[in-house]
Amino acid sequence: MLLRRSVAILGQGYVGLPLAMAAAGAGWKVFGLDNSEIVINSLQKGISHIADVSDDELKKWLSSEDYLPTSEWSLVSEASVVVICLPTPLNANREPDLGALESGLKQIGTFLAQDALVINESTSYPGTLREFIVPLLRKLRSESLDEMFFASAPERIDPLNENWNLKNTPRIVAGITHEASLLAFDFYSSFCENVVQVSSPELCEAAKLLENTFRQVNIALVNQLVPLCNELGINARELVEAAGSKPYGYMKFYPGAGVGGHCIPIDPLYLLWKARQVGYELPFVAKADEVNGNMPKYVVERVVEMASPQLGAHVAILGVAYKSGISDVRESPAEHVAQALVSKGFKPVWVDPLVESFHGFEKHNGHKISGAIVVTAQEGLPVRELAESGVPILDCTGVYKGISGVEQL
């Protein structure tokens, strides 16, 4: 039976679970769907695996029965709204990988209610909704899609951001039809303070890519200046702060060991791929990816220059999550730093109080350390202790400025 104020959310990760909590809080009956039995079992016990969702909040909506975490994909048939929050990574050739999206659509295709609203939040190239999702569902269903509604509303989640959250971050939406746009607007307006309708799903999809391409390009600009600043004896972060004293016409972006997370390293390449599909090149985007991609090698060269470690020596990576305060290591530049150390003949070991495992690399456990690189400033890192013991440290975060033995990027 179709429940008119019900939503099925495909994927209960860093996008889907906060969305589920927000929708439940707005009075929606929420089916939280995920293929991972580990994730579902944990959620059913009231244990959150997402930093932005507390166990208490999760238990509140579980006990009210407004939130049901499940792997029963057939429950999609009871939802008037279906939101896709599935990962869209890059493949081995650094091109769009829509495998998870395709798999999710195949699991729900035959269960969708005839007049359901299907919304894609997963980041992808312009045309994904109209050219990929709708045709695939048309192939999967024996019934016509004429009475169904389709919209795009790209996620804008920044984990642990204290100022901007799902409620107060403006949401852009667009449907394939005018009615679909209105339905998507009504859905998000139930828990978002500002919902912005734009002219087409393709514009929605492109806007999300532009947001993060803007960050990629500007971070690359600053990272490209780092070797020059080092040669000139200028502190790159101080340079950024000095330029940032101008109250208009400038935004501060900081250097680092690379770019990480689910957006900046990936989204610009979706845009670049789509441009090439239609015969265009985006040289700024390609160069920015190249510059930021080379930063792990550069920081390894810097620490080797500082510490002069013997081949085979252990070099520590301090902070391996992609940002401070979280345990997520996917797309972390620390992985590329570790690989660069291995390629130079050194043995990387890592320290991060929030991370349990890191891509098979060995955790620091009493090893003799010849040098260290701070990639992510996690609370509790032994930066001062290592520096006081004589270990040369390159700080790529700017957090440990002023500690003797710690050099800034």
Give the residues across from 31 on adjacent strands: 8, 68
Answer whether 88's CB lies under 8 Å from 96's CB: yes
119's CB contacts (< 8 A; 6+ apart) are 81, 82, 83, 84, 150, 151, 152, 153, 173, 184, 187
Q: Is 229 a catalytic residue?
A: no
Beta strands 149-152 and 171-175, pairing class: antiparallel
Catalytic residue among 192, 229, 263, 396: 263
- The total of other beta-carbon atoms located within 10 Å of residue 202's CB is 20
CA distance 355 to 14: 16
- Scan for tokens 């690379």, then name that residue: 258
Beta strands 347-351 and 314-318, pairing class: parallel
CA distance 127 to 274: 9
Answer whether 117's CB lies under 8 Å from 187's CB: yes
Catalytic residues: 263
